[in-house]
Amino acid sequence: MLQTILQEIDIAERDNDRQFVTALARGLGVLSAFQNSNTTLTHQAVCERTGLPKATVSRLIYTLLKTEFLVPDRDGGYRLGMGSIRLSASAWAQYDLIRIAQPLMSAFAAENQVSVSLAKEELGEMLYLASFRSPARLAVQLMVGSKVPVARTAIGRAFYAVSDDLQRDIMAKNLQEHDPVRFEQHWQLLQEQAAFFQEHGYALSHGEFSPDILAIAVGVYNRAEGRYTHALNASVPASRWKVEDFVRDIAPRLQRLAKAISER
């Protein structure tokens, strides 16, 4: 993480990126310096890990102490404070949702003979965080870590449909950066599909991502954050199911699965 932050700082300074807040990135770099360390770091150790000047590190540490993201250690160093712990707890709540979802998803896939996956939007694509495959082989084999388009997949359309305004603003920025040429087309498609979702309670993709894949998807509400943070899909080979049969049989069950995950 620290190396990624330092690289982004270098790129922003090289490109004179006025949207990039270098001071914020440096502060995050200081926090990231505590990754994979013993719990305490000295001022000198932070300087060495971040490559930042001593005076800059002093100001950043002072600010992080004031905001409780760092606290002084009795040995003269610093360690992560309650501000960092609270933020980490919020982030881990998402992974806790995944842990809860996995056994329910596994049982759902086996019982219904479908592939089922959980994903969230990341940098203009949907990132698969959990996935259980159907015995029926799909044309595209997706697994944890796979990324798929937002606008052309049911899971991406469902995530857009349940997202709040802030999430959609972030998504728009990510999509513009990821595929600027087709952004307007894809954004219009997402808006149209959101209307479909509101009417039917699920998103549908029939051969748009891959000719052989028929998929439906719904949002997953995260009680820890008080909003929808993920989407859940069920997919099958399009050649083996009629759309109306698939929707009739699987959509209500997928909705119940999403609710079960949210309420655990």
Q: Are 171 and 163 in contact (CB under 8 A)?
A: yes
Residues 244, 258: Cα–Cα separation, whole Å = 21
**Residues forming a β-bridge with 116:** 132, 234
Q: Are 120 and 230 in contact (CB under 8 A)?
A: yes
Count of Cβ atoms closer than 10 Å to residue 230 Cβ: 28
Predicted confidence at residue 37, as pLDDT, reads: 52
Single-letter residue type at 78? Y
* DSSP string computed for 148-180: EESTTSHHHHHHHHH--HHHHHHHHHHHHHH-G
CATH code assigned to 90-263: 3.30.450.40
- Class of domain 2-80 (CATH, top level): mainly alpha
Query: Is 241 in a helix, a strand, or coil?
Result: coil
Q: How much is the pLDDT for 240? A: 86
Written as tens digits, the pLDDT of the chain (264 aa) is 777 888 888 898 899 998 999 999 999 999 988 875 557 889 999 999 999 999 999 999 999 999 999 999 877 899 888 888 877 766 666 667 888 899 999 999 999 989 999 999 988 889 999 999 876 665 456 778 888 999 999 999 999 999 988 889 888 988 988 888 998 989 999 999 999 999 999 999 998 888 888 999 999 998 877 889 999 999 988 888 899 999 999 999 999 999 999 987
For residue 9, what pLDDT is reported?
86
- CATH 1.10.10.10 in the chain: give the residue spans: 2-80
Q: What is the pLDDT, as a whole number, of residue 93?
A: 63
Could you tell me where in the chain the CATH 3.30.450.40 domains are found?
Answer: 90-263
For the entire predicted model, the pTM comes to 0.65
Q: Report d(CA 39, CA 127) in Å as an integer.
A: 31
For residue 221, give Cα distances in angstroms to 41, 218, 229, 259: 38, 10, 6, 8
